[in-house]
Structure 1
Amino acid sequence: MSSKMVVSQPQPVMHVLGSDEWSSRICDCCQDVPECCCAFWCLPCFACRTSKKYGECLCLPLLDIFGFIPPIAMSMRVSMRQRYGIRGNMCRDCLFTFFCYSCSWCQMSREMKSRQIPIVLVNSNYR
């Protein structure tokens, strides 16, 4: 009987966009109408769900109601730009989250869908 030696195991496929730009513009709500309707009718629920999908605490966006400039939405945009290699600066992130809060959350949700990169959380214990 002949036996075969497995040299490599199947690996998950990751689709990564090669662009350093957002996959959609800030007001491209027609690209994902159900998501934008959800954001329009129940923005706190939508923001919490998007935050959870990104790998952050579910209730984190609820802290945005306490600030003049929404710190959570802004920090998530900055984090998303850094994770996906998107060009931009904190000034633009601040303007988008202040003047277009719901559109900003919709853009981040569309970006996560278009990048299709699974989030892997690693827990390291240093002793």
Structure 2
Amino acid sequence: MSSKLVIRQPQPVMDSRDSEEWGSGICDCCDDVPECCFAFWCCPCFACITTKAYGQCLCLPLLDIFGAIPPITMSMRVSMRQRYGIKGTMCRDCVYATCCTSCTWCQMSREMKRRKIPIVLVSAKNT
């Protein structure tokens, strides 16, 4: 009996089902007031929860504490733009991550809820 080892897994394709713009602006906190309040008063907790919902490590945003520019916030924003096909620049992502951290996390959370694209983790196995 022989087994076949799959060396190359098919890569998931993310289709952008919506526009190439963010579903809400960086300061549209009134779209979800309780979420905005949570992000404002406890941004590290909110960022961790949002990161986990995005499919990344729960504690990843805590690394932002060590830099002048929050690298995780910026990376998550860039990743989300790429995943959902949203136009933008890394310069703008850097400015928002540095100057408007709570608003940035709120905007990303709203975008995830709006797009509702499930995260699918694929594991390799012998066939």
TM-score, structure 1 normalization: 0.83
Would you say 1:98 and 2:98 are equivalent positions? Answer: yes
The number of aligned residues is 111
Larger Rg: 1
Q: How does 1:1-127 map to 2 (within 5 A)?
A: 17-124=17-124
CA deviation vs aligned residue, 1:6-48 (integer Å, no higher than 9, x gap) = xxxxxxxxxx642000000000000011110110111111000
Q: What is the alpha-carbon distance in structure 2 between the residues aligned to residue 22 and residue 114 of structure 1? A: 10
Aligned-residue sequence identity (percent) comes to 73
Q: What is the alpha-carbon distance in structure 2 between the residues aligned to residue 38 and residue 97 of structure 1? A: 17
Q: What is the alpha-carbon distance in structure 1 between the residues aligned to residue 91 and residue 56 of structure 2? A: 23
**For residue 7 of structure 1, what is the aligned residue in structure 2?**
none
Q: What amino acid maps onto 1:43 in structure 2?
A: C
For structure 2, which runs of at least 5 residues remain unmatched after alignment? Answer: 1-15
Verify the 8 A CA contact 2:74 2:93 in the aligned structure 1.
Answer: yes
TM-score, structure 2 normalization: 0.83
With over 3 angstroms needed to count, the CA separation of the structure-2 counterparts of 1:125 and 1:96, relative to structure 1, is farther
Q: What is the alpha-carbon distance in structure 1 between the residues aligned to residue 104 and residue 125 of structure 2? A: 35
Q: What is the alpha-carbon distance in structure 1 between the residues aligned to residue 119 and residue 32 of structure 2? A: 22
Q: What amino acid maps onto 2:70 in structure 1?
A: P
CA deviation vs aligned residue, 1:38-91 (integer Å, no higher than 9, x gap) = 101111110000000000000000000000100000000000000000000100
Aligned partner of residue 34 in structure 1, secondary structure: helix
Q: Using the TM superposition, give the Cα deviation of residue 125 of structure 1 relative to its aligned residue in structure 2, in angstroms.
A: 6.4
Q: Using the TM superposition, give the Cα deviation of residue 121 of structure 1 relative to its aligned residue in structure 2, in angstroms.
A: 1.3
Q: What is the alpha-carbon distance in structure 1 between the residues aligned to residue 67 and residue 125 of structure 2? A: 34
Cα RMSD (Å) of the superposition?
1.4
For structure 1, which runs of at least 5 residues remain unmatched after alignment? Answer: 1-15
